[in-house]
Amino acid sequence: MTPDLLIQSTIIGLSIGSIYILMALGLTLMFGMMHIINFAHGAIYMLGAFAVYYIFSQWGAPYFAAFVLAMLLLGTFGYLVERSIYRPIKGGIEPTLVALLALTTFLQAAGYPVFGQLDKHVPPVFQGTRNVLGVMISVERLMIIPMAGALVVGLYLFINKTKMGAAMRAIEQDKEAAALQGVNVHVVNGLAFAIGFALAAASGALMAPIFKLDPMMGEQPLLKAFIIIILGGLGSIPGAILGGLMLGLIDSIVATALGAEPAFLLSFVFIILLLLFKPTGLFGYAPP
């Protein structure tokens, strides 16, 4: 591998990594508060991409409006899922997981008759390439990094600086005690669903101009996000960020050298070994 190719795949890896981070952050946030894994995350990623397809490339709205609208729409959907699926099950973890799984297969299967059998394409939003450290990178891919970064910083500020964020952290530590202090656990859980879904939609919306769109497109990012949160430790937000960056780089560099499928197989073998020897994740985060 030449140095140029290495630099190029590192930068591409950073941009893929920031998508993975957005996916993994929502998953880990929801796990930390409710101890559930949102299996529907991949399907929401897909819906986010399709929202951009319709709003931006079919109806002609500006890309940023489509991006924000996709997040708002799917965030609302997340709140409704909390109301209609999570809340009626009353905290049963296993039934919730199975219901979310059913929601996923429903959204994916319904995608074919609704969106059509053919792959969809979103036209490029940012044209041209830019010279970074002597290699040419498309602006499309470069722009993912600051946009995802802004969302991560926004989430960090929200969780650490606002009252709602404090309520979320309180629920993560002790749900009953938080409820006794007057935190409305239902509303805050609903908010966590909304944030998780909105972040997944944002990842899909960012990736829409780069990849082709089909109803199964969320499967791979979901599995990648699983690997990341196992790497970083379930429920750990710094773990999700570091794990996402690592997997993005591994994915891009190994995939450039060996191909995408061997890269996935390698990362799976890696997490099995990790679970064997360091089950709390790379950064030693003990799950609550």
The residue ranges that bind another protein (CB under 8 A) are 31, 35-37, 39, 85, 88-89, 93-95, 97-99, 101-106, 108-110, 112-113, 219, 223, 226-227, 229-230, 234, 261-262, 264-265, 268, 271-273, 275-276, 279, 287
SS3 category, 131: strand
Minimal distance in Å, beta carbon 90 to another protein? Answer: 10
Q: Distance between CA 176 and CA 43 in Å, rounded?
A: 32
Nearest residue (CB) to another protein, 126 versus 270 = 270
Nearest residue (CB) to another protein, 205 versus 263 = 263
Nearest residue (CB) to another protein, 90 versus 161 = 90
Nearest residue (CB) to another protein, 212 versus 278 = 278
Minimal distance in Å, beta carbon 223 to another protein? Answer: 5
Q: Distance between CA 275 and CA 72 in Å, rounded?
A: 36
Minimal distance in Å, beta carbon 218 to another protein? Answer: 11
Nearest of 253, 200, 244, 266 to residue 1 by alpha carbon: 253
Minimal distance in Å, beta carbon 240 to another protein? Answer: 14
Q: Mapped to the 3 state alphabet, what secondary structure does 183-237 carry?
A: CCHHHHHHHHHHHHHHHHHHHHHHHCCCCCECCCCCHHHHHHHHHHHHHHCCCCH
SS3 category, 136: strand
